[in-house]
Amino acid sequence: DAKTTQPPSMDCAEGRAANLPCNHSTISGNEYVYWYRQIHSQGPQYIIHGLKNNETNEMASLIITEDRKSSTLILPHATLRDTAVYYCIVRGGTVGGNTPLVFGKGTRLSVIA
């Protein structure tokens, strides 16, 4: 699976959009981009995933560049409860695929009042 590169930490003002970048320059055609987050001492929480097109759900938006070598997770109106470690993961998505997700170090997002 392609490796990802994320900044170790970021700050964001409460109420502003949080834009978390992720580089995955070696991604291949069948690999999905996943985002999870982990709030202190809890299990990770799935946020969103995508293959080529931009995706949006009730939690966030995922913007994937046209060449798919990078992506950005957007939290449109960050709150204090969004303070967490955010993981960007790339994994092949073949039907019945057998490669588990591999979590890296992630980005520690601090939302500041």
Which residues are paired to 5 by β-bridges? 23
Give me the least distance between CB of 100 and another protein, in Å please: 5
Which residues would be at the binding site for another protein (CB under 8 A)? 32, 34, 36, 38, 41-46, 49, 91, 93-105
Give me the least distance between CB of 109 and another protein, in Å please: 15
Write the DSSP string, 4-63: -B--SEEEEETTS-EEEEEE-TT--TTEEEEEEEE-TTSPPEEEEEESSS-EE-SS-EEE
For another protein, which is the closer residue by CB, 42 or 113?
42
Give me the least distance between CB of 23 and another protein, in Å please: 18
